[in-house]
Structure 1
Amino acid sequence: MSVFLGIDIGTSGTKTLAMRETGEILATSTFDYPLSNPRPGWSEQDPADWWAASIKGVRAVLKQGKIKPAEVKGIGLSGQMHGSVFLDKKSEVIRPALLWNDQRTVAECAEIEKRAGGRKKLIDMVANPALTGFTAPKILWLRNNEPKKFDKVVQVLLPKDYVRFCLTGEFATEVSDASGTLLLDVAKRKWSDALISKLDLDSSILPKVYESEDITGKLTAAAAEALGLPEGIAVVGGGGDQAAGAIGNGIVKSGVVSATMGTSGVVFAHSDAMQVDPQGRVHTFCHAVRNQWHVMGCVLSAAGSLQWYRNQLGQAEVQAAKKQKIDPYELLTEQAKEVGAGCEGLFFLPYLTGERTPHADPHARGCWIGLSLRHGRGHLVRSIMEGATYAMRDTLEIIQEMEIPVRQVRLSGGGARSEFWRQMQADIYGKTVVTINAEEGPAYGVALLAAAGTGAYKNVVEACQNTISVVSELKPDGKTRKVYNSYYPHYRNLYQSLKTDFAEIAATVDKVG
């Protein structure tokens, strides 16, 4: 029986997965690499680390799963979205890649809006406003700030597509990831000649665009030798990590929404037709399902806020967990359980790295509001979990305003591993939440795309229907739901109250250092 590989180029590491065409997972592996923050708000990585981790990952799953190389029939690629890999005429990397959470491009976002003729015209062209995380502002930043390096640019690739180049020698991308560059005509599913022209860019620096199931190239002899695989294995388009994760969660039909509470948090809704928020608060991108779209919102520091607490303030719990040989998050969750919903008026705004949805504000910052002498560590922990979940609800509210149906919310990410946090999500969203039999996210999704693209299934929808099923369900608790409905409007108002202060503080930091 055929085997399909999924490779997900994440921010902290690359995950590789091997899957039978039945959906059975044979093996997984993850190899980490460093993240560089050379200045406040900057985030960079060396693309060579992604390729090295991919090689190690493929070799590891072949060995772990006792897979014969000849059994592998297809490879799918996923990865962190929006990153920019700049290549010269020798196809060599010019500088470290700028990542999705890099915030240096505020001026370039304003430049793009101006060149496009205003925010509304920009949204009309590419379905989205200019945000600091997107790729187009990064290209302009290179042109504005490192012109000698920009002059060398022959090709710009997204992270997963750099690995694709290493695998196949082809410059290619696919519609879901390309949507996040801000340079794709999302309605027509091709590069936007209109915007590219207004930005004075040469379209030749952008790779060919495919649908996510399409075969984009085949494994070269050099790549095959590095990976321990036969030459000629098909590599399909794959998907940006959010679209790929949605495939892995079975979000391939209307009414089913995913809420991924990972380092960042994403609420993702399938849409049969292209639907755009006129205010640009959520993203409208091409889905990894052929000729379908999706609407999504991104919280930049969701479960990442709890990770920050663990790393910076939770050393006692980390040490205690080591002695008990358990995960420190278990101890943090036990503390949170001792506190009532709403934390007696303590709120946490999870804007540790700025915020994307719905505020699009790189200057926003995390804070606790409402602290009193009654509040202890349990309140701090629970308020972080609640704050991240309120932030996710912000997106869900916008999706419902757009009249996109929400009948079921499928949970994934670190926040789905805890039944306590799953119930909190049900109560704050006011929706039935479920988990599914697959927990591997984007890597699993692109393995399914590889199976569909190479003929094991007629399309990815059929692949999901045959491999993914619901395994647990939680309904909102009516009493707790009422508590959260009382507190949520206050949470929403806090950002508006602090918006000007955030901007003024950022200006002061820039001035005095």
Structure 2
Amino acid sequence: MDYLLGIDAGTTSFKAVLFNLEGEEIVSAVYEYELDHPGAEMVELAAEKYWEACKSVIRIILSKWNGRAADIKALSIAGQGETLIAVDHQGCPLRPAIVWLDNRAVEEAERIEAEFGSEQTYKITGQPSIVPTWPAAKILWLKENEPRVHHKTAKYLLLKDYLIYRFTNSFVSEGSLLSSTLLFDINSGLYWDEMLKFVGVSGDQLPEIVKSAHRVAELTDIAAGETGLAKNTWVIAGALDQAASAIGAGNTGYETITETTGSVLAICANVPRVLFDPERRIPCHYHAIPGAYFLLPWCQTAGMVYKWFRNEFYGHFKASGLGDVAALFRHMDEEAARILPGSDGLVMLPHLAGAFTPESNPRARGVFFGITLQTDRAHFSRAILESVAFMLKRNIALLENLGTTVREIYSLGGGSKSELWNQIKADICQKPVVTVRTPETTSLGAAMLASVALNLHENLEQAAEKMSGRNQRFDPSVVHDHVYTAAYEKYIKLYDALKPLF
């Protein structure tokens, strides 16, 4: 039997999942690490530590699995964006990786904006704002602050590109990952020459652009020896983690969105063409799906708010039988479920770390409004769940106003484990919410790209039909629609009224 290995290269951990061609999870493994903070606004990690994490998670997979390494036909990586690694002509890192969380390049981002303007940059790269996160700003910072490193750099790579190089000795990247670099033109699928010239790099210093379902090469002898995989294992180009997750959920068409409620709320809406928001509130990315793009609204705090409330107001349960995190969240849901929809008039703004799409207001803060003498802890829990659903509804409204069609919502992330939350989202958005069979959709999406690259499936649509699957469907109820409509309108008015005070 043939197997495919999907690797999710995350911010503080690597996760690997081995799948068969039906998308069934055979075995999985996680390897965690900590980032370095060498200075104010600086976040780094030695590139070799990323490679060690990748090798380790693969070896854990092989140690837990009773099969033959030769039966793993390919590996594919879904990676975090924006983490920059500079290597010399021998492919050796010249300094630690500058992680996507790093914000040192503030002045450089401002220089880029002064040179090109936000509107032009948006129309070329799909990124509505110019911030220090983007690798173009990081490269400019290196040019100005570490000129010896910049001069010696043969290739500037993103994390996934670097891992592919360690596996194959090939320098390649793909559009979904490059979309947030400010170096990539999403209209042409090529590098943006004017930006390259401004930050001081040539096209030769960047990886070759290939398709996401591209067979890069088989493993080198060294990579095979270090990982335990067979030398004839193919390495596939892969995709940005958000693109891979949408694919892994089975979202390969244009009338379904995925929403991931983890710490943040991230929404992925596939579109068949480049689509810009006139008010520049939503980024538009090049997709791993051929010929497609995706809009990526996101909100900074979602599940993080529920976790904050758990830590601050349910802490005493740790000394009881509810010390288990999952059990405690279930208990919170049970309490919230006894409160009627609308939380008896209690409304929350969940902006504990600023508001992003569509408000784009970093000064916004969290608010509970409508507290009475009858309000108890369960009201607050339910109000939090409803507030995240209101954020989702507001972003769906924005997507629909831009011309997209949303008939169904695939729910991913830790929040999708809550049946109560799924039903609240369905009722507030008045759209079906569907959970998926395999929770590790990012790794599955990477594996699905590998299946297409090896011609094991004809295309991603067929791969989705064969490998991804639904779990539960939550149909919207109209019974409480009038209550939720009134609460949603209050949510909007509350933010508008408080905006001048933030």
Task: Give the TM-score, by structure 1 length.
Answer: 0.89
**Number of the residue aligned with 1:238:** 238
Please list, as runs of the form range in 1=range in 2, the aligned pairs for 1:194-213 lying within 5 A after superposition.
194-213=194-213
> Which letter does structure 2 place at the counterpart of 1:4?
L
Contact 1:82 1:134 survives alignment (8 Å):
yes
The CA distance in 2 between the partners of 1:67 and 1:277, in whole Å, is: 49
Which region of structure 1 is more displaced relative to structure 2, 66-75 or 296-305?
296-305
**Shift, 1:156, TM fit:** 2.4
Deviating more after overlay: 293-302 vs 383-392:
383-392
1:500 Cα deviation (Å)? 6.0
8 A Cα contact 2:112 2:130, kept in partner: no
CA distance in 2, matches of 1:480, 1:182: 45
Aligned residue in 2 for 1:128: 127
For structure 2, which runs of at least 5 residues remain unmatched after alignment?
A: none
- How has the CA–CA distance of structure 1 residues 383 and 321 changed in structure 2, closer, same or farther, with 3 Å as cutoff? farther
Structure 1: distance between partners of 2:321 and 2:114? 53
Superposition deviation, residue 74 in structure 1? 0.7
Residue 52 of structure 1: how far off its partner (Å)? 2.1
Tell me by how many angstroms 1:14 deviates: 0.9
Corresponding residue for residue 316 of structure 1: 316
Residue 323 of structure 1: how far off its partner (Å): 5.2
CA contact (8 A) 1:321 1:328 kept: no
Separation of aligned partners in 2, 1:428 and 1:142: 47
2:63 is aligned to 63
Q: Give distance in 1, aligned partners of 2:172 and 2:369.
A: 50
Structure 1 residue identity aligned to 2:126: A
Residues 86-143 of structure 1, C-alpha deviation per residue, up to 9 Å, x if partnerless? 3345533344434444455554443322211x22222222222234343333333444
Asked if the contact 1:449/1:460 (under 8 Å) is kept, the reply is yes
1:109-508 to 2 correspondences below 5 Å: 109-116=109-116, 118-132=117-131, 133-144=133-144, 146=146, 149-321=149-321, 327-361=327-361, 363-364=362-363, 366-370=365-369, 372=371, 374=373, 375-495=375-495, 502=502
* C-alpha distance in structure 1 between counterparts of 2:311 and 2:45, whole Å: 22
Q: Deviations over 1:58-104 (max 9, x none)?
A: 12222323120110111110022222233345533344434444455
Task: Name the amino acid aligned to 1:264.
Answer: V
- Greater shift, 69-78 or 43-52, is seen at 43-52
Look up the equivalent residue of 2:330 and give its one-letter code.
E
CA distance in 2, matches of 1:418, 1:451: 31
Q: CA deviation at 1:407?
A: 1.2
Counterpart residue identity of residue 398, structure 1: L
How far apart are the structure 2 equivalents of 1:392 and 1:146? Answer: 42
In 1, the alpha carbon distance for the partners of 2:308 and 2:98 equals: 22
In the aligned structure 2, how far is the partner of 1:312 from the partner of 1:150?
Answer: 46
8 Å contact 2:143–2:200 — kept in the other structure?
no
Tell me the percent identity.
Answer: 28
The separation in 2 between residues aligned to 1:367 and 1:417, in whole angstroms, is: 24
Q: Are the aligned partners of 2:156 and 2:206 in contact in 1 as well (CA < 8 Å)? A: yes
Q: Structure 1: 5+ residue runs without aligned partners?
A: 503-513
Secondary structure of 2:296's match?
strand
1:50 aligns with 2:50: yes
Q: Structure 1 residues 386 and 293, CA, compared in 2 at 3 Å: closer, same or farther?
A: same
Aligned-pair RMSD on alpha carbons? 2.7
1:423 partner letter: Q
* Structure 2: distance between partners of 1:39 and 1:368: 33
CA 397–205 in structure 1, closer or farther in 2 if over 3 Å, else same: farther
> How many Å apart are 1:211 and its aligned residue?
0.9
CA distance in 2 between partners of 1:289 and 1:182 (Å): 21
Q: 1:462 Cα deviation (Å)?
A: 1.5
> 2:76 aligns to what SS in structure 1?
strand
Deviation at 1:56, TM superposition (A): 2.1
Give me the whole-angstrom Cα distance separating, in 1, the residues matched to 2:483 and 2:465.
Answer: 37
| 1:20 counterpart residue number | 20
Q: Distance in 1 between matches of 2:384 and 2:447?
A: 34
**Per-residue deviation, 1:501:** 5.5
TM-score by length of 2: 0.90
- 2:72 aligns with 72
Range with greater deviation from structure 2 (251-260 or 387-396): 387-396
On the 8 A contact 1:44/1:97 being kept in 2, the answer is yes
State the shift of 1:293 in Å: 1.5
Cα distance in 2 for partners of 1:464, 1:50 equals: 30
Which residue identity lines up with residue 484 of structure 2 in the other structure? Y
Describe the SS at the equivalent of 2:456.
Answer: coil
| One-letter amino acid matched to 1:339 | I
Which amino acid is 1:126 matched to?
Answer: T
- Do 2:342 and 2:487's aligned partners in 1 also have CA atoms closer than 8 Å? yes
**Residue of structure 2 equivalent to 1:30:** 30
Relative to 1, partners in 2 of residues 1:232 and 1:501: Cα closer, same or farther, differing over 3 Å? farther
* Distance across 1 between alignment mates of 2:415 and 2:495: 23
**Which secondary structure does the structure 2 equivalent of 1:18 belong to?**
strand
Q: Could you list the per-position Cα deviations for residues 276-309 of structure 1 after superposition, in whole angstroms to 9, with x for gaps in the alignment?
A: 2222211211111122211221223322332334
Distance 1:489 1:98 in 2: 42
Q: Tell whether the 8 Å contact from 1:131 to 1:360 is kept in structure 2 after alignment.
A: no
CA distance in 2, matches of 1:377, 1:43: 37
**Structure 1 residues 417 and 204, CA gap change in structure 2 (3 angstroms):** same
Q: CA deviation at 1:471?
A: 2.9
